[in-house]
Every structure is written in C-alpha cells, then in structure tokens.
Amino acid sequence: MYQIYPRSFADSDGDGIGDLPGITARLDHLVELGADAVWLSPFYPSPQADAGYDVADYRGVDPIFGRLEDIDKLLTQAHSRGLRVIVDLVPNHTSSAHPWFVEALASTPGSAARQRYIFRDGRGAGGDKPPNSWQSVFGGPAWTRVTDADGAPGQWYLHLFDAGQPDLNWDHPEIRAEFGDILRFWLDRGVDGFRVDVAHGLVKQADLADWHYPDEPVSGEPVEGPRPPMWDQDGVHDIYRDWRSILDKYPGDRVLVAEAWVQPAERLAAYVRPDEMHQAFNFEYLEAAWTAPAQYAVIDRSLAATDAVGAPTTWVLSNHDVLRHASRLGLPVGTIRPRGIGADDPQPDAALGLRRARAATLMMLALPGSAYLYQGEELGLPEHTTMADDARQDPTWVRSGQTERGRDGCRVPIPWEADAPSYGFGPTDSSWLPQPAVWAEYALDRQRDVPGSTYELYRTALRLRRDLALGTGRLSWVDGPEDVLAFRNGELLVVTNFGAEPAALPEGAEPIHASAALDPDGRVPTDVTVWARV
Ligand code: GLC
C-alpha cells in the first residue's frame, strides 16, 4: 500500500501544491514500483489549517487539488492498471468551517446545533478556565472559548487537534447517520476503502475527566496504567461494526484501515476483529528501536496479536506524521522519536540512516502481512532537517510555542527529475514547502535502472515479495547470534545484522537480494539485510 500525500506528490498546474491530475499522470510510477494499492491523504474542501485533515465538506474536492471529476478519472485510471485506491476519512473532527460548526457557533448553549460537537461551560470565576485539563495533540489546551453573538465570552469547545478541528460528538445519532452516508457516497464512486483518521479518538469518556499527562501528551497512550479518557474507549468499536456492515454490502473487496495510536498490540488488535476493520497501522513497529531484541519483540508480539483475531498484521516505517525513517534511523539508537528537526538541532547521520533504512525496509518487505510505504521512501528520501522556521506550515510549530518543529520535514514535495524545475514535482519552481538542494541526488531519474539505488532496491523487493507471496506467508524464527535477526518466510531466509561483526549465512543459503553488498567472504555486514534461498 503506497501512501500519496496529494499536496506533495505531483503538481500539474504549477501552483506549487500537488493535485489530483498530477497523481493520475504519475500512476505508472506506482505500477513500475510494484505497489498494489494507493492511499490518498485528504483532498476535500478545507481551510487547510491542518493540511486538509480539517474537512469542511466530506463529499467534495478542494479546488487546490482539482474537482470531483478528477477523482473519478483517478479511480478509473488506477483501476485500469490494477491499482486499488483508498481514501482518508476524518471522522473525529470537522473543520471549524464545516456548516455544522458554523451553525453551532451561531446557536445558543444547549441548542441542537451545539450538541453535534463537544461544548461545555468553562471552570473558574466567569467560566474563564477550560472545562478540563486535556491538551491538544499539537500543543496548548484542547479547548477554545467562543464569543457569543452579543460579544460576551461564551462556552468552550473541545479540539484534540487544532482549534480549527472541533471534535464531533459521536454520541449523537445524526453524526453516525451522516458518516454512514459519507461512506456510501465514496463507495458508490468506486473507492476500495478508507483509512480512518484518529480511529482511537471518536468516543470520549462520558465524564470528560481530567487527565494527568505522564510525560508527553501526544502519541496515544502509555503501555501501562490507566487509559486516558480521550483515547481508545471501548465505545469506538460499535462505530466500526456499523461501518463494516456498510462495506460488506458492496461488491468486491473494500477495506477499513485504522489509524489508531494504541498500545499494547492486543488493544490494537481489537480494532481488526472479524466484524470491525480489516487492518490497523502498527505504530509500535515504527517506534521500535534499531536493535535485534527490540525488533524481534515487536514483530513477534504484532503477529501474535493479530493472529489471535485472524487479521493480517501491518508494517509501516514512514508516513506524513513522523520523521522519515531514513533520518530517524540516523539518530543514536534508542533516541525517542523527535517531533521534527530544525537546523539548530542535532542532525541525523544521513549515510547511516539510509543504510539502516534500507536494511529495515528489506526486513519489513519480507514479513507476512501488509506493508505501507510513504511516498518518497522508495527514493531513500531523508527528512528535510534544516528547513527555515518561517517556511513551516504544520500547526504544531505555533501551537507548541515553537518548541516542536512538527511534521513539515517529511512532507516536502518529492523529486522526480534532478534537473527540472522543482525537481520535476511540477512545471514551475514553485513548491509549497522548500525543497532542499540534496533532492537532486535522490530524484527518481537519477535512480531508475541504476543498480544498487534505493529505488531499484524497492522495486526488486516488491517484485520478489509478490512472486514469493511473502505477504500471505508465515514467519518462523531462526536461531542465531544475539545481534542478528533471522527468520524464514516460505523458502526465503531473511537475515538482518544489527551487530558490529559480520554475520555468516547458513551453509547453502543463496543470496537473492540485499540492502547493501555482502563482504568478500559472503557474510552479512553491520546494518544490512539479506534475502536468501535455502
Ligand atoms: C492524524 C493524521 C494527522 C492529522 C491528525 C488530525 O493523526 O494522520 O496528519 O494531523 O490525524 O486529523
């Protein structure tokens, strides 16, 4: 599954923002790469307070991305190439520009229009303190106070993300009915499914109890201890059962994929029980340290948890919310994943990061289950870690009081041609986020048909993955030295060496693919993955 972030994939009209016709014109790239399906991040009408994750109209296309007809064309063109297409569904919150929220603001406290969202009176004298202690994922309080029609300060509304993303009240039957209709709208148009944004957030603990944040407010929840009142409440599962029953009425295979920052793996597996969603992103895998024991543990736990409910496991190393893995893995092992990197911060080791990223990807692509790729990782793209702060667009930067750089560094428009304007992203030099000069060396045209390039590494791996049916295979661990991770998937042996010393392959093993050259004795060097036939 290949994630396209429409703003940054391909710009057909030269305004510096990628668009749907740009995607359609580049679909052959995905076929050449060997992807089976595409996930499109949001393209709906939106004020773009959070790059389109603030949706003002769930049934349209923002003019910056094109028109509704462009989606139809994209779907037809993708399907004719055998590519499935899933779209992003953002049900936790609307945009503050959504007609419902506009109506809520114009209505009085307690009115029907306000019931669709989570409005509360403030605490303290005159209600001037937020109703509870919850923090926005992007920083600052999760509540914003509104001004009443007479100019007086009014109630507060909840937004777990930006103030432009008010949370919906999922106890309200109208919300449930509306989202059922939205699903049908896109299914009728021919989409193959949905990636469900913030799937662990829709239902809040009814009393909206205060929450004491252990150390960091953002990524889901701690592995142990009480569950935060805003995440992973049991009530979310009823919603997904309803949705599943809607999808099941459609012909062909249609999928629901949960974006749920939920741990441990058993809690996450509940989202993919037989009558709920089909897959859920495995963020625990993404966050695991680059050591053999950590990787072993997370893979083993992930497979066990999803096996228990009969669902496929998923694997993901990069997406539009996290530091690209080619840079993340260039930080000292065990570093807590930073939320963005700026020019003054310690910089990742680019060569080491890419070497490890290639090894990590090659290991991931041999695992049974679904693999999710993020646009540009097939080029080995690093994070843009020296972006000028005044170019940043992610609300995280401002809302965190400029303490967290945010996610712009992984969202930079990707390079197609080294010597073209905007590196081939569009017909002009314009790019909504600045592209660093190193983009030239990563451009697709510098890597295609170049033996050893990251692009050819991915292509070969995806071809073999398909030929050997690795995605539907079974994993069995192979014993070896402590710093070496080895497993079999069918006739394939996969060895990743995390240790300082080269690792020997078993007698008779015949290497067929590797993330970097083996040593002269045919051994696996440090930070290298090898695929071998046994
Ligand atoms: C998800 C999206 C992220 C967005 C947030 C709020 O985590 O992946 O990009 O900011 O939800 O919609």
| pLDDT by 10-residue block (mean), the chain, 534 residues | 98 98 98 98 98 98 98 98 98 98 96 98 96 96 95 97 98 98 98 98 97 62 73 98 98 97 93 98 96 97 96 97 98 93 97 98 98 98 98 96 96 98 98 98 98 98 98 97 97 98 96 98 98 96
Query: Which residue minimizes the CA distance to atom 4 of ligand 1?
Result: 53
Q: Encode pLDDT of 41-96 as tens digits.
A: 999 999 999 999 999 999 999 999 999 999 999 999 999 999 999 999 999 999 99
Q: What is the pLDDT of residue 218?
A: 41
CB 87 within 8 A of CB 186: yes
Burial 158-182 (b: 16+ CB within 10 A, else e): bbbbbbbbbbbbbeeeebbebbeeb
> What is the pTM for the complete model shown?
0.96
Separation between Cα atoms, residue 417 and residue 19, nearest integer Å: 18
DSSP single-letter state for residue 273: S
Assess whether 197 carries a catalytic annotation: yes
pLDDT at 247: 98
Confidence (pLDDT) at 223 = 53
Task: Tell me if residue 147 falls in helix, strand or coil.
Answer: strand
- Per residue in 104-152, pLDDT (tens digit) is 999 999 999 999 999 999 999 999 999 999 999 999 999 999 999 889 9
Q: Is any ligand 1 atom within 6 A of the Cβ of residue 90?
A: yes
C-beta of 268 in contact with ligand 1 (< 6 A): no
Considering Cα of 363, then 263, then 319, then 178, what sign does the dihedral take? Answer: positive
Tell me the best of 43, 53, 399, 410 to mutate to test the pocket of ligand 1, counting ligand atoms within 8 Å of each CB and taking the most: 53
CA distance 294 to 10: 37
For residue 41, the CA-to-ligand 1 centroid distance in Å is: 10
- Return the pLDDT at 57: 98
Report whether residue 198 contacts ligand 1, using a CB cutoff of 6 Å. yes
pLDDT at position 447, please? 98
Does the beta carbon of 321 lie inside 6 Å of ligand 1? yes
Q: Return the half-sphere exposure (C-beta side, CA atoms, 13 A cut-off) of residue 516.
A: 19
Ligand 1: which of 321, 393, 399, 410 to mutate, judged by most atoms within 8 Å of the beta carbon? 321
Please indicate whether residue 259 is annotated as part of the active site: yes
Question: What whole-number distance in Å separates Cα of residue 10 and Cα of residue 16?
Answer: 9
